[in-house]
Each structure stands twice: as C-alpha cells, then as structure tokens.
Structure 1
Amino acid sequence: MLKNLVNVAMVLSVCLSIGYAKPLKECKSERDRLNGCIEKRYFRTGGLWVETPYKNGKQNGIRKAYYKSGWLHTETPFENDKRNGVNKEYYEFGQLWRETPFENDKRNGVNKEYYEFGQLWRETPFENNTINGVKKEYYESGQIKEETPFENGKINGVWKTYYESGQIKKEAPHKNNVPTGVEKRYYESGQIKEETPFENGKINGVMKRYYASGQLETETPYENDKINGVRKEYYESGKLKEERLYKNGKLFIYKEYNEQGKLIISTE
C-alpha cells in the first residue's frame, strides 16, 4: 500500500512540474540565448511571424512560423542549429500540408504531402537530401496516380502513370532523367494507344498510334526528333488513308485515299 502511494506521489510530482513549467522568456540578449529564451519576430502589422527557441546560444526546440492571419504555418525541430526531426507545414486553415523528416539538417526519410482535406497526395523518399527510391503521387480518392523511380536524384527506370480506375496510363523508361526506350500510352480499357521510341531523349524510329479498337491508326518515322520518311495514316478498317513524305521535318508530298483505296488527293 505504501509503495503504491509513493508511486502515485511521484507521478503527481512529474505532472505538476510539467504543468507549471515556466514558459521561456523572450530573448533580449546573447546571455538570454545561452540560458534559454524565445526569439520573436513580428509582421509589420504587429502580428507574430516567427518564434525561435534558443539554448546554449543555438536554436534548440521547435521553431514556429505563422501566417498573417495567425494560423500556424510551420513547425521545425532544431538541435544545436540543425534541423532534426519532422518539419511540418500547414495550410492556412490548419490542415497539415507537408511532413519532411530531417537528420542533421538533411532530408532523410519519406517526405509526405497532403491534399487540403487530409488525403495523402505525394510521397517522396530522401537519402542525404537526395531523392532515392520510388516517388508516389495519389488521386484524392487514394488511388495511385504516378510512380517515379529515382536513383541519386535522377529518374532511372520506368516512370508509370495511372488512370483513377487503377489502369495503367503511361510507361516511360528513363535513364538519368533522359527518356530511353519505348514509351507506351494506354487507353483506360488497357488497350495500347501509342508507342514512341526514344534514344538519348530524342524520338528515333517509328511512332505508332492505335485506335481504341486496337487497329493501327498512324505510323510516323522519326530521326532525332524530326519526321523523316513516309508517315502513314489508316482508316479503322485497316485501309490506307494518307501518305505524307517528310524530309527533315518538312512535308514534300501528300496523298489521300478513300476507304475503297482510290487516290483522291495528290501533290506529287
């Protein structure tokens, strides 16, 4: 019984010490910053702008910044002048906007951003201030919208985007931020819509577009981002509709056919 009373007394003592802890006084001198104080800055209108806690002459504690309206803008945890912990930013009406984890003043961990009504919007993984891993973006519904793979701050791998239904929308292979390989776009049904070949960031090869039915719509030959050769367009039936001869991106000859295959226009 006595032991229990002692434990209760200890808990009450701790609670009282926390409840009645003296708030830090406002900084007036360097001595105050050594002993512990809050530096306050104000807007020209007189409203509080920033509160920065000091101890041992350095920023230690949660620095707070405010909107002119008085709402909290940011909370930044400091240890000896360096950001350590989760930095939080808020929309002006109080809803959390972004969380950024810091270690020794560098972003380390997953940066999270939110829509105005609280749903997760974006997740960005950091290592030593550099994006590393898969960056993800979401629709307000919570469905995945984009997945972008990063290595050392650059896009490396297949960047994917999605329809809100969850169906894949685009697949774009990258190497060191540069489009490389065949970029594919899809209809929401899952049917292929477009195929674009890239080499070192430029379109090289035959770009193909398809009808929603899967039938080939156009074939366009590219060299270093310029149309070179004969571009062909087809009716959905598969019959040839147009032929356009290009040289270095300039049109030289145009031919058009009706669905029966008869030539109806020619500039040759």
Structure 2
Amino acid sequence: MRKIFIILFLMLSIFTVINAHPFKTEKELQDFYAKIDKEVDKELKKDYIKLFEQRKANLKEKASNNDTKKMLEDNEYLFVFKNGKLEKVFKKDILDGKFIILSYIYENGKKRKIVCLNKENSHYYGTVKGFEEDGNPLYSGQFYDGKMEGIYKEYYESGKIFKEINFINDKENGQEKIYYKDGKILRIVNLKNGKENGDVIDYYPNGRIKNKAHFIDGELNGEVISYSENGNIIEKGFMKGKLLNGDTFAYYPNGKLKEKDSFKNGKREGESIIYYENGNVKQKSTFKNDKREGDLFIYYPSGKLCQTEKYINGKAEGEVIEYYENGVIKEKAYFINDKQEKEHFFYDEKGKLIKTDIYKNGVKQ
C-alpha cells in the first residue's frame, strides 16, 4: 500500500515575497514587458534570410576573433554567420537605445530563440521565447534584469500549453499548472520560494481529482489521498516528514474497505487487516518495526479460518496449519527461522492422513 503514497502530486497558492523589480504593482511590470514584447514580436515576423538579402549590399564586415564566424552590420542590424550559415541576428537599438534584440537561428532559417538584452550588462529583459525547428513554440519566460520574473510556459508540439509557472525573484512562487494535450488541467502545485507548499493535486481527464497531497517546505506532510476516476477513495494515509505515520486505508472500487495498516515513521507498526469485498476479514496479522510478529490468520470469503502461521522478527517460526472450509485440517507443516523443517502432513477432508513429506533446512528430502 505504501507505494502509491510515495508518488509526488503537485500544486500551489499565492505567497508574498520580495520582488526583484522596482515596479509597485504587477500591472506596471506587465506594462513594461508589453513594451519590450511589442518590439520582439516585430522581429519574430521578419524573415532574416530575406532581410539579409535586402541589406547585404550596404553591410560592412565587423572584425571577429573567430575564424569560423563572419559578422556583417549596418546601423540597425548585425548578422552573424558560422561556417557560412546565419547563426544569430542582433537588432541593435530599441526603447531609446537601452536594449537590443538577439535572435538565434536554425539552419533552415527559422528562429530558435529570441531574447531582449540590456546593452550595459547583457541581462535578459521581457519575454524570452524558444521554438521548435518547424516554428512551433517550445517555451517562453518573463525576465527582469536577468532573473525570471513572471510567467514561464512550456508547450506541446501542437502549440498548446503544457505547463505554466509563476516566478518571483528567480524562484517559483504561486501556482504551477500542468495541462493535458486537450487543455484540461492535469496538475496544480502550490509553490513558495521554489518548494511545494500547500496542496498538490492531480486530475483525471474528466476533471475529477486523482491524487491530493499536502506539502510543507517541499516535503509531503499531511493527508495523502488517491481517488478512482468515478470519485471513490482508493487509498488514504498521513505523511509526516516524507514518511507514513498513523493509519492508512485502501478501498475497493465500490468504496468498501480493502486494507488497513498502521505506520510509525514509515514502518508498519501494529495490526494489519486485509478484507474481502464482501466485508469479511481475509488476513490479519501484527507488525513490529516493519516486520511481521506473532500470529497470522488467513480466512475464507465465508469468514471461516483457512490458515494460521506464527512469525518472529518477520520470519516464519513454528507450526503452519491449513484448514478445509469445513474446519478439518488440510495440511500441517513446521518452520524454523523461515525454513521448512521436519514432517509436512497432508489430510483429506475427513481428517485422514494421506501423505507425509520430510523437510530439512527448507529442502524436501
């Protein structure tokens, strides 16, 4: 049962942190980005191969210390070639000459990445955009003074959003959302300073919750619940410091209890019970420090005893007896230190001995 509780499910809420920008409001920041993005979008629409052909007669060569590169420029653009292929294009001056726009180019001439740089320190400003070779968007992220500040997005090949995260001062803060290809929510994560804080929720394509967990400072801490697609609880437990603590429950698809265990610091401790779908006990035993200890009882769906075993420190020790449903002994064996020893008796349904095997150190003689 513990396996499903180790799954990490992600989500988020808004938190107050110190911003890395001088703007008083989010609107002021977005207005600043909009000015830069407007200039970037102008460059995105341009075919730089054609633009170079239109300007090449008036371009002058700029000195380069790299033999594989050639740089040609005019007052507005700088074209960088590597081994004869256009590699980069600089739009020299935007927004009163404080910024430049740099585009990285695929061999097919399409843009691979486009960024706005501060002329003084080359820090990123505005929305950085990356593209597939066919021109479809790959990612985009908002930057201020070289740090991520705003929304970061990744895209499916179709161009639809795969993931979006809010950044403040170069760290994830607020909601991270992951989407299915059809645009429906797959996961929501609450983040603070780059760590999960609050509820993390996974969703089925039908919009119902699949998994829900609570995080504190990046660690699972609180109730963890898994649901079926029709909304019934599948498993439920409590995590503290990444470890299961307290009672955990597993359920059948119809909502009936399937299994109950108790944990202490990630280890089974106490009674463990497994149920049939009809509600009768299927198996009952006790654990100590994550090892079975004492009697193990196994039952038929009717509720009648099927088998008994004894354990010491997780190892079978002593008699193992299996019963017919009418209560007559079916088999009787003996274990020492988890290995079968001595006689193994077989009986018919009337209790008559029909066969005897001998074991030594777990091997049939």
Note the alpha carbon deviations across 1:225-251, whole angstroms, 9 max, x for none: 322211001111112111011122222
1:71, 1:94 within 8 Å by CA — same for their partners in 2?
Answer: yes
Q: Aligned to 1:29, which of 112, 117, 120?
A: 117
Give the Å deviation of 1:33: 7.8
Return the letter of the residue paired with 1:248.
N
Bigger relative CO (Cα 8 Å, ≥ 6 apart): 2
1:194, 1:207 within 8 Å by CA — same for their partners in 2?
Answer: yes
Superposed CA RMSD: 2.2
Larger Rg: 2
Asked if 1:259 corresponds to 2:332, the answer is no
Asked if 1:216 corresponds to 2:305, the answer is yes
Q: Aligned to 2:280, which of 186, 191, 200?
A: 191
Decide whether aligned partners of structure 1 residues 23 and 162 sit closer, same or farther in structure 2, where only a CA change above 3 A counts.
farther
Query: Residue 6 of structure 1 aligns with which residue?
Result: none
Give the Å deviation of 1:68: 2.4
Q: TM-score, normalised by structure 2?
A: 0.64
248-257 vs 162-171, which moves further: 248-257
Return the letter of the residue paired with 2:357.
T
Decide whether aligned partners of structure 1 residues 33 and 169 sit closer, same or farther in structure 2, where only a CA change above 3 A counts.
farther
Query: Residue 72 of structure 1 aligns with which residue?
Result: 161
Return the letter of the residue paired with 2:303.
G
Return the letter of the residue paired with 1:112.
I
Q: Runs (4+) of structure 1 moved beyond 4 Å?
A: 31-35
Return the letter of the residue paired with 1:190.
G
Distance 1:48 1:196 in 2: 56
Query: Residue 14 of structure 2 aligns with which residue?
Result: none
Q: Aligned to 2:205, which of 116, 136, 155?
A: 116
Return the letter of the residue paired with 2:263.
H
Asked if 1:102 corresponds to 2:102, the answer is no
Distance 1:30 1:233 in 2: 79
Alignment of 1:126-141 (within 5 A): 126-141=215-230
Give the Å deviation of 1:139: 0.4
Query: Residue 163 of structure 1 aligns with which residue?
Result: 252
Note the alpha carbon deviations across 1:183-241, whole angstroms, 9 max, x for none: 11011121111012211111121211111111111001122332221100111111211
Identity of aligned residues (%): 33
- 3-state SS of paired residue (1:108): strand
Return the letter of the residue paired with 1:28.
C
Decide whether aligned partners of structure 1 residues 56 and 120 sit closer, same or farther in structure 2, where only a CA change above 3 A counts.
same
Give the Å deviation of 1:61: 1.1
Decide whether aligned partners of structure 1 residues 165 and 93 sit closer, same or farther in structure 2, where only a CA change above 3 A counts.
same
Number of corresponding residues: 251
Return the letter of the residue paired with 2:348.
N
Give the Å deviation of 1:50: 1.1
> Gaps spanning 5+ residues in structure 2: where?
1-26, 41-113, 359-365
Note the alpha carbon deviations across 1:83-130, whole angstroms, 9 max, x for none: 111100112232211000112222111100011232210001111111
Return the letter of the residue paired with 2:338.
G
